[in-house]
Each structure stands twice: as C-alpha cells, then as structure tokens.
C-alpha cells in the first residue's frame, strides 16, 4: 500500500529521466521526508537506459546539473511536486549521484 500511495514526480522524458529523479530524491530531503540518521533506499526500475550527463546536449541543454533541489509544489493531486529544470539543466552523472549518495 505504501508503494501504491507514494507520490510520483515526472520528467520531460519520463522513461529515461530516472537519474534526475534519483538526484532529486537525494537532495530534496524535506520534500521526500527523509529523517536524519536513517538508512535510505531508492529503488529505480525502468525498461530503458537512463539519460546521464551530456545527453542534454541533444536538446541544446548545456547547463550542468548543480546537485540542488529543484522540486516545486503543484496543486495537482497526483503529482504533488514537479522537477522544474528538466528542460534547462543537464542530467546528473553517475559520479554526481555517487557523491550525493555518500554525502547523504
């Protein structure tokens, strides 16, 4: 039941935008509801390879991922928060994800 009722956020390219979602899950602690000192687990499942740093160039997106929280609250009941930089900031790299995972 907890998984079925978990809030979901979307990316402009939802099938391959998983790295954006993982980064936002790690850096938006207050929105996600992480508690200090707890073990955190993020499960990522997809039927496609995720986009990563550099792939944004295909859409003219050159601004590197800044590893900051960019979730904005919405009035939408299904998607309570949206990632607002999916068309202006590149995807995170594996190294950036590792850096945030170690930090958090």
Residue with tokens 């190294």: 95
85 within 8 A of 70, measured Cβ to Cβ: yes
Vertex 96 angle, CA 93 and 5, to 5°? 90
| pLDDT tens-digit map of 84-99 | 998 899 999 999 999 9
Q: What are the tokens at 77?
A: 């009941």
pTM: 0.79
3-class secondary-structure state, position 98:
helix
pLDDT tier at 1, thresholds 50, 70, 90: low
| Residue count of the chain | 104
Q: Residue 67 pLDDT > 90, yes or no?
A: yes
**Residue 61 to residue 52: CA distance in whole angstroms:** 12
């Amino acid at each position: 039941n907890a998984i079925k009722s978990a809030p979901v956020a979307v990316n402009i390219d939802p099938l391959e935008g998983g790295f954006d979602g993982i980064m936002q899950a790690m850096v938006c602690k207050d929105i996600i509801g992480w508690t200090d000192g707890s073990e955190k687990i993020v499960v990522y499942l997809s039927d496609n390879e995720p986009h990563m740093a550099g792939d944004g160039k295909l859409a003219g997106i050159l601004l590197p991922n800044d590893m900051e929280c960019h979730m904005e609250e919405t009035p939408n009941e299904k998607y309570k928060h949206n990632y607002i930089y999916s068309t202006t900031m590149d995807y995170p790299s594996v190294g950036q994800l590792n850096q945030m995972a170690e930090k958090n």
